[in-house]
Copies of this chain bind each other. A is one copy, B any other.
Amino acid sequence: MALGIGYADQTCNLARALEVLGERWTMLILRDCFYGVRRFSDLLAHLDISRAVLTERLNTLVEAGIVERRAEGGHPVYLLTEAGTATWPSLYALARWGERFGPPERRSGRTFRHWGCDAELDDHGRCPECGATPGPADVVTHPGPARAGDRTDPVSVALRSPHRLLTSVPA
């Protein structure tokens, strides 16, 4: 746990979660892991952080058992563990809130649909078509409208098409 991140005197599960997940950039790294970004260089190109910050955050996530570092074809890849995958409802709920209450001109319009049903998930991540609350592996993300100044890194380009979560990106 990084200095100044703990909430030592708060006996509270929310505080426990934020001690690990609440650092700046951490949830956006996890978002990228859900998108299926696996390599350090792709994370670096898709996020606006320094190598040092990305390295530090990934080390923290690996130590906390949220992300697993594996060697694949000579380079390390980063994959969500069970604990990492279980952050999906939190990230989804926050993103829904951002879409609804964020500055209108900056909402992404990105949607999340149930694989198979193709129905957009509701505020609670439930499929209105079949009533299930799918895990991230059964969710397909669709991009919002293109904008001037859209990012041109390989991950951003790949995510301009519908993409099933947790499947590798860029392909």
Contacts and interface: CB of A to CB of B under 8 A. Distances in A.
Interface of A: 4-5, 7-22, 24, 27-28, 31, 47-48, 65-66, 83, 86-87, 89-103, 106-108, 110, 123-126, 133, 144, 147, 150-151
6 nearest CB pairs, A to B: A16-B102, A13-B98, A17-B98, A16-B98, A90-B93, A89-B93
Copies in the complex: 2
Given A16-B99, A18-B28, A90-B94, 4 more contacts: A10-B28, A12-B28, A13-B97, A17-B101
A126 B95 CA distance: 19
A120 to B, nearest CB: 14
A107 B13 contact: yes
Contact of A16 (B15, B22, B91, B107): B107
Contacts of A15: 28, 98
